[in-house]
Amino acid sequence: MSTIRLTVNGKPVSVEVEDRTLLVHLLRDHLGLTGTHVGCDTSQCGACTVHIDGRAVKSCTVLVGQANGTSITTIEGIANGDELHPMQAAFRDNHGLQCGFCTPGMIMASIDIVRRHGAGLTEDILRQELEGNICRCTGYHNIVKSVLDAAGRMTAAQAAE
């Protein structure tokens, strides 16, 4: 057992867990943040994607010890109160989700994709970048539309700052 201290969605957290605990289970089972999902056991589906210190990471592939001292953001932590993150809003506005199970991971991964590519994000690059996130429902058509829409909103917002 170890004591793990980290920041989750801006709040300091300290939990006593087995060393072999995965970050995704810490979030889901110990902190009740069930928006982060588990869809596989081989780091392929991306349903578990969260941000560690601002970068998208598959939380099913991170032991809690590796996350010690980091700052984690989950799907529950990206909206600003009632105001959705532009990526969340774009997924809703473009019907970028159906069953919603892949969605938190898609949104978290996509925010990072837009962060890295900014205005240079094209459909081709986006489709390559989404390789680590599997959706069985949407055929990706509207996910691609959503992320490109959000990229426009996010870069416009940045430019305005």
Partner 1 sequence: MGIEGIGARALRKEDKRFITGRGRYVDDIRLHGMTYAAFVRSPYAHAKVSAIDTAPALAMPGVVAVLTGKELVDDKIGNLICGWMIHSRDGSPMKMGAWPAMAPETVRFVGQAVAVVIAETRNQARDAAEAVVVTYEELPAVVDMREAVASGAPQLHPEAPGNVIFDWTLGDEAATEVAFNAAANIVSLDITNNRLAPNAIEPRAAIAEYDPAEEHFTLYTTSQNPHVARLVLSAFYNIAQEHKLRVIAPDVGGGFGSKIFIYPEEMVALWAAKKTGRPVKWTADRTESFLTDAHGRDHLTRAEMAFDKDNRITGLRVKTHANLGAYMSLFSSSVPTYLYATLLSGQYDIPNIFAEVISVYTNTAPVDAYRGAGRPEASYVVERLMETAARQLKVDPTELRRKNFITQFPHQTPVIMAYDIGDFNASLDAAMKAIDYAGFAARKAKAKSEGRLRGIGVSCYIEACGIAPSKAVGSLGAGVGLWESAEVRVNPVGTIEVLTGSHSHGQGHETAFAQVVAGRLGISIDQVQIVHGDTDKVQFGMGTYGSRSAAVGLSAIVKAMEKVEAKAKKIVAHQLEASENDIVIEEGQFKVAGTDKAIALPMVALAAYTAHNLPDGMEPGLKESAFYDPTNFTFPAGAYICEVEVDADTGKTSFVNFVAADDFGRLINPMIVEGQVHGGLAQGIGQALLEHAVYDENGQLLTASFMDYAMPRAEDLPSFNIQHTMTECPGNPLGVKGCGEAGAIGASAAVINAITDAIGNNDLAMPASPDRVWHAIHG
d(C-alpha 34, C-alpha 25), whole Å: 9
142 binds partner 1 (CB under 8 A): yes
49 binds partner 1 (CB under 8 A): no
User: Token pair 């009740």 is at which residue?
Assistant: 32
Give the footprint of ligand FES on residues 9-68 (CB under 6 A): 38-40, 43-48, 58, 60
d(C-alpha 52, C-alpha 88), whole Å: 19
Could you tell me the two tokens for 15? Answer: 């939990």
34 binds partner 1 (CB under 8 A): yes
Sheet of 55-58, strands arranged across: 11-17, 2-8, 71-73, 49-52, 55-58
Phi, psi angles (nearest 5°) of residue 123: -60, -40
Q: How far is the CB of 98 from ligand FES (least distance, A)?
A: 4
Q: How far is the CB of 81 from partner 1 (least distance, A)?
A: 11
Q: What Rg value do the Cα atoms of the chain yield, rounded?
A: 16
Footprint of ligand FES (CB under 6 A): 38-40, 43-48, 58, 60, 97-103, 135-138
Footprint of partner 1 (CB under 8 A): 18, 20, 25, 28-29, 33-42, 44-45, 47, 74-76, 79, 84, 88, 91-93, 95, 97-104, 107, 123, 126-128, 130-131, 133-145
